[in-house]
Structure formats: structure tokens, C-alpha cells
Homo-oligomer: A and B are copies of this chain.
Amino acid sequence: MAKELTSRSENYSQWYNELVVKADLAENSAVRGCMVIKPYGYAIWEKMQAELDRMFKETGHVNAYFPLFIPKSFFSKEASHVEGFAKECAVVTHYRLKNDPNGKGIVVDPDAKLEEELIVRPTSETIIWHTYKNWIQSYRDLPILCNQWANVVRWEMRTRLFLRTAEFLWQEGHTAHATKQEALEETERMVNVYADFAENFMALPVIKGAKSENERFAGALETYSIEALMQDGKALQSGTSHFLGQNFAKAFDVKFANRDGKDEYVWATSWGVSTRLMGALIMAHSDDNGLVLPPKLAPFQVVIIPIYRKDEQLAEISSKVDEVVAKLKAKGISVKYDSLDTKKPGWKFAEYELKGVPVRLAIGPRDLENGTVEVARRDTLTKEVVGLDNIDQYVADLLDDIQQNIYKKAFDYRTEHTTPVDTYEELKEVLNTKGGFALAHWDGTAETEQKIKEETKGTIRCIPFDGVKEEGKCIYSGKPSSQRVLFALAY
């Protein structure tokens, strides 16, 4: 096969980079750090969007759209926010090009300089809270539960397709509430939505928890996240939900008259997932033969390949395949029939394996005689010959089984790679050799976390919501701790 991949054991990072490109998911563009999402990759992202959008709407949210540009002065209004984002902003300074007077192509027109520079949004809290000021007068205007699907830009120095790109696609929810309690509930609701999506659609087990202060979003009082484990033992933060307190309301002077007619500042949350989820999906499940896609997010769930020598055989097979396709579609299963004659079946087998199509049906003249079809499943790479009569139900059940099996495999991997450690030496040992999550006691201080990060590169991924309360001692400082936290090397 022409598109052979580096194996995971040989070089995991290279395996990932090659897979993204060879499976036609994305590629680097002419613009530093910006990617092109190719049709096959985009089709997966569209499936993710559709499910998430449905879940957001079911929890009462509506979509809206806010400007791409943010006036520079808006950034300065929330101190920790500007600190977090100023270093990686694309800045628009001019609004016109012109012909070079010296005849050397086109140049920026110096007469078209903006009075105030515009920042390409890295996230939209500032422009949105500036807007909300006009939308909110009284408690009757609350809550506001808006989401936005958009592109954002963060001028990252080291980029990798899907995982860290200068421009990426995401959704950002921005909600406004009358009470702290309600905003906290919303923050938790949305991290639960993300976890639900990751587990039930991406087949990706995640750990929900709170971020330590060091790892919080710039401007948040609390950041909750879902953390997933990749096959190289590194963690990947896959979604975050922030309780912003009244920080942005104060920065943009957004008050509401409460039921007693008194003015109060509004409470805020924001939450987002991005095309980074594509990276998580790819890295969590795929193998040395290529992508492994959970059926619920596969652009097509079944591919059918005819095996034949003569054109008459193809005609007979195609006629039978049409029946099979109709039966599968009636069950809501998406199917591609690849009868193109410019490629051999062997090439097609490898190609769809690389692209992670969950189920492959191959059908030849002997199958026609016997009323059978060869069914191959991508996750286990096993094959079976099956009767055509109940093929629709068989495939439907198989897709369910694959979805569950992929989840179970990732879950078992994570279980094997979650290690309680009681000493700093053990932590280092886990991070350096076995990999995965290490559960350790921590004294709760930013200083200790920073020291551990500097010495081991390991970070606190989260303080798990469902962690057992137990007395212990910080593995670094020996100070008392009431709960283990999750350490890992991370993307």
C-alpha cells in the first residue's frame, strides 16, 4: 500500500501527523499555523457540530453571531484576560492595499491606517459582554444563553494539525445570569454536556474536574474541563467550561435591576470545544493501519466493494448491492458503494481502512450464488461471511457493537494507565515510563504545582469531581491534602 504509516510504537507523533494528512483529514496551508480542513475531515467535524448543537439547544441555548474583530481597548478592560491573550493576537492595522508607486506589486496603503487597531478574536468574552450591556436591564432579561459557532485566532508559535493551530473552529457559549448559583449550575451543566458528547459519540472516556488556579482560563474564577487519555499516555484537555463570576460584567459595566429594583452585576459563564476534538478522536482510537472512527461520527458507516473480473459480473453485483444499500439506508445507516473501476479491490480495502470506515462489505460472484457477503469490522480487523437476508439488522447491531467496543478499549486503556502514586519518585516514574494519569495528593498551592511542572513537565489536569475524599500528604511538600488530583504529561 502506497500510503503506509509510521507505526505508533516507532514514532507516535509522526504517526499522528502522517495519519491526519494521508486519511485526508487536514493539511497545512500556505499561511503559517493555519490548516486546511479537507472534505473527509470536515464531514466528521460536521457530525460533531450537529450533535453538539442539538445538545446545546436541548439545554435551552440559542445561537447568535458576534464580530470577528475586537477593538484593542476592549482587551485591557479585564486585566487577567489581556494578560492571557495579548501575546498571541493577530492585529489588523490597515484597511486597504494599493499599487506600489514604484511598480512592485501591491503594498499596504499607509493612508488607510485604523485609528484603533482591531484584534482578530482569540475568544469573544470582551465583545460579547460589551454587547450584553445593551441587552440587559432587568432580571427579566436574564438568563441569556447564547452560543456561537465561529473561527478564532491565537498566534501559537508551535502548531500541529487540529491540536494547536493559529486559526481553529470552535463553539463558544456565553451566558449571563442573575445569581452566582445559577451561573455555577450552568458551568457544571455544560461540562456535563461535553462529557456526555465525548463518551456517547466520540467513544472517548473523560474525567471531569476543576482546573487548578494555574491552569484556569484567563478571567475565570473556576474552570471545569474534560480530560481524555491518548494512546501515548499523554492527556488531552478536550473541552472547558468557565465560571467567570462578575469579572466581565464589572469590566463592561453590565448591571441588572433585581426583583427589589436594586442594581447588581451580572454573573457569567463561557464554555467551548474546538476542532481540537478531531485530534482527540484520531489519537484515542486509531491504529497502525489508519483511522478508527466511532460509527456515530463516521461520514459513512459502511463501504461496499464489488469483487469481479468481468463487466457482466459487476452489473449483477451492483443490482444486488442496490437492494442492500436500500435496506441499510432504511435503517438510518450511511453507506458508500465504491464501484469505480480505476482502482483494484486491494487498494480500496487499504484506503477505507486508512479512513476508518467502521464496516466494509465485499461482495463477489460466489457471494451472489450463496446469498452471502463478507463483512469486515475496522476496529478489530476481523472478517466474517454473513447471509444477505438479514444484513441490515446484522450491520445495525455490528455498528452498535463497534461503538461500544471502541469505547471499552479506550476505557480499559485508561484504567490500566491510571496509577495512584504516594511519593514524588513514583510520580516521576509514572510520567517518565508508564505514562497516563497519576493520582496524587497535592497541597493545593500554585507554587508546588509550578515546581512539579518545571521538574517533571507533568501538570495537574484537573481535580476530579468524583475523586474520593481522603486524608493524605502532598507528594512534593508533605503538607496535608484532602483529595488526590490528576497529574499527567499533556498536549
Asked if A167 is an interface residue, CB under 8 A from chain B, the answer is yes
Binary interface encoding of chain A residues 13-45 relative to chain B, with 1 for a CB under 8 A from any of its CBs, else 0: 000000000000001011100111111001101
A115-170 interface with B by 8 A CB criterion: 117-120, 127, 130-131, 134, 140, 146, 150-151, 153, 155, 167, 169
- Which residue of the partner chain, among B36, B67, B91, B93, contacts A64 with CB atoms under 8 Å? B36
**B94 with A87: CB separation less than 8 A:** no
- Which residue of the partner chain, among B31, B46, B96, B153, contacts A70 with CB atoms under 8 Å? B31
Q: Name which residue of chain B comes closest to A275, CB basis.
A: B65
Asked if A261 is an interface residue, CB under 8 A from chain B, the answer is no
Residues of B close to A82: CB separation below 8 A? 97, 106
A72-B97, A97-B87, A108-B117 are contacts. A39–B66 as well, Cβ < 8 Å? no
Could you tell me the distance in whole angstroms from the C-beta of A52 to the nearest C-beta in chain B?
14
Chain A interface helix/strand/loop/mixed: mixed
CA distance A296 to B65 in the complex (A): 22
Could you tell me the distance in whole angstroms from the C-beta of A211 to the nearest C-beta in chain B?
25
Asked if A95 is an interface residue, CB under 8 A from chain B, the answer is yes
Could you tell me the distance in whole angstroms from the C-beta of A77 to the nearest C-beta in chain B?
10
A46-B63, A65-B37, A90-B92 are contacts. A97–B119 as well, Cβ < 8 Å? yes
Residues of B close to A386: CB separation below 8 A? none
Asked if A62 is an interface residue, CB under 8 A from chain B, the answer is yes
CA distance A76 to B103 in the complex (A): 12
Asked if A75 is an interface residue, CB under 8 A from chain B, the answer is yes
Asked if A307 is an interface residue, CB under 8 A from chain B, the answer is no
Residues of B close to A118: CB separation below 8 A? 31, 90
Asked if A89 is an interface residue, CB under 8 A from chain B, the answer is yes
Asked if A86 is an interface residue, CB under 8 A from chain B, the answer is yes
CA distance A82 to B106 in the complex (A): 9
CA distance A74 to B106 in the complex (A): 10
A38-B64, A75-B106, A82-B106 are contacts. A97–B90 as well, Cβ < 8 Å? no
Residues of B close to A140: CB separation below 8 A? 342
Asked if A88 is an interface residue, CB under 8 A from chain B, the answer is yes
- Which residue of the partner chain, among B63, B68, B76, B119, contacts A34 with CB atoms under 8 Å? B68
Q: Name which residue of chain B comes closest to A30, CB basis.
A: B130
The number of residues on chain A lying at the interface, defined by a beta carbon within 8 Å of a beta carbon of chain B, is 64
A36-B66, A63-B39, A118-B31 are contacts. A95–B89 as well, Cβ < 8 Å? yes
Asked if A101 is an interface residue, CB under 8 A from chain B, the answer is no
Residues of B close to A415: CB separation below 8 A? none
**A36 with B62: CB separation less than 8 A:** no
Asked if A105 is an interface residue, CB under 8 A from chain B, the answer is yes
A86-B98, A93-B91, A97-B87 are contacts. A65–B46 as well, Cβ < 8 Å? no
CA distance A117 to B36 in the complex (A): 19
Residues of B close to A72: CB separation below 8 A? 97, 106, 108
Asked if A420 is an interface residue, CB under 8 A from chain B, the answer is no
A416-456 interface with B by 8 A CB criterion: none
Could you tell me the distance in whole angstroms from the C-beta of A435 to the nearest C-beta in chain B?
33
**A62 with B43: CB separation less than 8 A:** yes
Residues of B close to A91: CB separation below 8 A? 92-97, 108
Q: Name which residue of chain B comes closest to A340, CB basis.
A: B140
Binary interface encoding of chain A residues 217-228 relative to chain B, with 1 for a CB under 8 A from any of its CBs, else 0: 000000000000
Could you tell me the distance in whole angstroms from the C-beta of A308 to the nearest C-beta in chain B?
20
Q: Name which residue of chain B comes closest to A89, CB basis.
A: B97
**B97 with A120: CB separation less than 8 A:** no
Asked if A364 is an interface residue, CB under 8 A from chain B, the answer is no
**A96 with B155: CB separation less than 8 A:** yes
Most chain B beta carbons < 10 A, residue from A86, A88, A106, A130 = A106
Q: Mind listing 29 A-B residue pairs with CB under 8 Å?
A: A27-B134, A31-B70, A34-B68, A36-B64, A36-B67, A37-B64, A39-B63, A42-B62, A45-B65, A68-B120, A68-B167, A69-B90, A72-B97, A72-B106, A75-B97, A76-B106, A86-B96, A86-B97, A86-B106, A88-B96, A89-B95, A89-B96, A91-B93, A91-B95, A91-B97, A93-B94, A95-B155, A108-B117, A150-B151
Name 16 extra pairs, CB < 8 A, besides A75-B106, A88-B96.
Answer: A29-B67, A31-B127, A36-B131, A42-B65, A46-B63, A68-B120, A69-B90, A72-B106, A72-B108, A73-B105, A76-B106, A91-B94, A91-B108, A92-B93, A97-B119, A140-B342
CB-based closest 3 A-B pairs: A34-B67, A39-B62, A86-B97
A interface, CB within 8 angstroms of B: 27, 29-31, 34-39, 42-43, 45-46, 62-76, 82, 86-99, 105-106, 108, 117-120, 127, 130-131, 134, 140, 146, 150-151, 153, 155, 167, 169, 342
